[in-house]
Chains A and B, each alone.
Chain A
């Protein structure tokens, strides 16, 4: 085989791996639009977009973590906790912008604790983030006494309910953030370090990369993004729910893997994660449209996740 043929074949293979999931997404959309005439309506598409905008943002962080070879199960609790703290504070004291920044700060701080425990204290990432997940589930209920916190101030609701040329702002935020993070991961030193650490942490360390510091930073980023997701969700709904992020750990990891990000680190890109999130969103909306009880969603999500990991494993063999 000539050099150029070899080169074009490898890049074609890469594209096909990404395109396969895109085809699954398009296939699902076609099936549901046949089953339900309302599925392809603009309103429903916006609704899907709004649903995935929050988990989509969480998925950016989860992608970065997975690319470095770790993952975070506390994303949902952090989103829920920060959402409820910001809602609670804004309701009682106003000053939304200040509370917004404060909320993100809490997320970053939780990420810092996660990162220190994992990178410095060498506690297993699964256990650390599982523990933190439970801690902040509990803390969420403590802050709110177990009730949702409703806030009706226009400032609080700006991010979640504004429309630009009739497109909901969260969808625009989502797309812009994916563009930005794609550029960062693809073209910057930071991105290169992320992929290198995921590819072989020991080789990266011996090449002079501060792997521990990078991992801590990744968890801080993840915490901040999760917090932002949670605050955005509360803003859209006008209230912060105590169980807001319960499905995020599974769904965010599932979406990333579905989109071709290797659970072992170093392989994949965030467009894959976006496709993965979209598949989960479409599945959810579609199942509602055809009047399936919502429990089926959980079953479908679980099955989709296992299939995704199976495909990932098989591709690598």
Chain B
């Protein structure tokens, strides 16, 4: 056991009412690449953020180098030799690579002046190992995503680093950049540094990891040597008992041929190059594609947020021109945006005011525009109940709710508005499993009402289990239209998405 650098046991972490980590455990050997996998919300990111001092655990112990640790902040962790490469890169774009690497710990002389020569020399030494010494005088803004990620790695190396945690490092990288990153990870390994590797991309694990630990709903499921495990096994460990998440399968019962929404030869900007699709009443249509495939941009164009260069849009057989989101809403199109806090809800407003916002102008009692308070309250209560929003009353601020319940409010708005077509952009992103199941249920309810439902999602399990049809986007076009999603596998869909 002497080669164990880190051992966590009984780790618990709560966020409000959400139990993000529950008696979780984890072990890390020296010089190994240890993958940490699990579905969204399984607690992977939470755990590595606790390790690196970004969050503090509520209970449990972590022993690192034979000492118990509980870092109060990220700097303490870095100094102790635990570095993290975050999912979202946070560098100062107008500063040079070297300045970014040494951010906050510049070598200084008398009176606090920066010793620039020392700074660049030390940065060059660190960069040299990875053949990046030419880059240290460039501004970060001149570099691509892949290189920026490598800079985040270099940043962790200015201390005597023993552990580096990567949070979804390849999410935004090209194949070539990914290869370069893996090469770098290999070098780190030979230096005896241990790697914790969080990823959704299971295929990568077989290229890079030595062992894999699976988490589910904040709990430890198991650890395997990568050579003794198959992808299917990992998936079954991740999914486990949760097969019921998607509820009753209603996909084959409904087939309505009446087209409610149609898009012809849509072109917009550089990322939408001729998109065609039609949605029938009551159909849940999934839109899948990699980042940059044009699926989100297509929805933005449909909703009037991006300008159309070419193309026609038909709603219930009538040609419409969507000039702005304001216009889209008035025509009967609703959008549940991906980023609910920035765009979906008003945190400091009540649940009621959020739900009724798109149609509150129609609740006027008289010409002066006084709102019919009774009617408004009734509608709000009705949808709080229908969507199972967990709240004592409709006047609670949305900001006081959990993420899943906030998302329900963001959705309730469009149900109450009675829009004909509702676009869901990553509707279950970052919400807990219970709320997810509620939202799938809801999508089915909407489908029964005969709405047209578009679901943009990166999570294949939900696309496969909830949608009646799947449109696969690549290079700004729809490359495949799966008209039947029964018996479809993830591989079938991904094949088209990757081309």
| A residues adjacent to B (C-beta < 8 A) | 3, 6-7, 10, 187-190, 192-193, 195-196, 199-200, 202-210, 266-267
Alpha-carbon distance A64/B330, docked complex (angstroms):
26
**Of B345, B363, B371, the contact of A203 (CB 8 Å cutoff):** B345
B413 touches A (CB below 8 Å): yes
Q: Which residues of A contact B371 (CB under 8 A)?
A: 187-189, 192
Q: Which residues of B contact A204 (CB under 8 A)?
A: 346, 357
Task: Decide yes or no: A210 and B348 within 8 Å by CB, A7-B395, A188-B370, A202-B343 being known contacts.
Answer: no
Task: Decide yes or no: A192 and B326 within 8 Å by CB, A6-B392, A203-B343, A266-B349 being known contacts.
Answer: no
Q: Which residues of A contact B363 (CB under 8 A)?
A: 189
B360 touches A (CB below 8 Å): yes
**Of A6, A189, A207, the contact of B413 (CB 8 Å cutoff):** A207
**Cβ contact within 8 Å between B343 and A188:** no
Q: Which residues of A contact B343 (CB under 8 A)?
A: 200, 202-203, 206
B290 touches A (CB below 8 Å): no
**Cβ contact within 8 Å between B326 and A205:** yes
B186 touches A (CB below 8 Å): no
**Cβ contact within 8 Å between A209 and B357:** yes
Interface centre among A10, A193, A207 (most CB of B within 10 A): A207
B342 touches A (CB below 8 Å): yes
**Cβ contact within 8 Å between B342 and A202:** yes
Q: List 23 A-B contacts (CB under 8 A).
A: A3-B392, A6-B392, A7-B392, A10-B395, A10-B396, A187-B373, A189-B360, A189-B364, A190-B369, A192-B353, A193-B360, A196-B346, A199-B348, A200-B348, A200-B349, A203-B346, A206-B337, A206-B343, A207-B329, A207-B413, A208-B328, A209-B326, A266-B346
For residue A195, which residue of chain B has the nearest CB?
Answer: B349
Please count how many residues in chain B sit with their CB below 8 Å of the partner chain's CB atoms: 33
Please report whether the interface of chain A is mostly helix, strand, loop or mixed according to DSSP. Answer: helix
B344 touches A (CB below 8 Å): yes
B325 touches A (CB below 8 Å): yes
| B residues adjacent to A (C-beta < 8 A) | 303, 325-326, 328-330, 335, 337, 342-349, 353, 357-358, 360-361, 363-364, 368-371, 373, 392-393, 395-396, 413
**Cβ contact within 8 Å between A208 and B358:** yes
Task: Decide yes or no: A208 and B326 within 8 Å by CB, A3-B392, A195-B353, A202-B343 being known contacts.
Answer: yes
Q: Which residues of A contact B326 (CB under 8 A)?
A: 205, 208-210
Q: Which residues of B contact A188 (CB under 8 A)?
A: 364, 368-371
Task: Decide yes or no: A208 and B392 within 8 Å by CB, A188-B370, A189-B361, A267-B348 being known contacts.
Answer: no
Q: Which residues of B contact A266 (CB under 8 A)?
A: 346, 348-349
**Cβ contact within 8 Å between A207 and B364:** no
**Of A6, A192, A267, the contact of B360 (CB 8 Å cutoff):** A192
Q: Which residues of B contact A210 (CB under 8 A)?
A: 326
For residue A316, which residue of chain B has the nearest CB?
Answer: B348
For residue A190, which residue of chain B has the nearest CB?
Answer: B369
Q: Which residues of B contact A200 (CB under 8 A)?
A: 342-343, 345-349
Chain A nearest CB, measured from B420 CB (Å) = 14
15 additional A-B residue pairs with CB within 8 Å, beyond A10-B395, A189-B360, A190-B369: A6-B392, A189-B364, A189-B371, A193-B360, A195-B353, A196-B357, A199-B346, A199-B347, A199-B348, A200-B349, A202-B343, A203-B345, A206-B325, A207-B358, A208-B328
Chain B nearest CB, measured from A197 CB (Å) = 9
**Cβ contact within 8 Å between B370 and A187:** yes
Chain A nearest CB, measured from B119 CB (Å) = 35
Alpha-carbon distance A91/B330, docked complex (angstroms):
51
Interface centre among A7, A193, A206 (most CB of B within 10 A): A206
Chain A nearest CB, measured from B117 CB (Å) = 40
For residue B335, which residue of chain A has the nearest CB?
Answer: A206
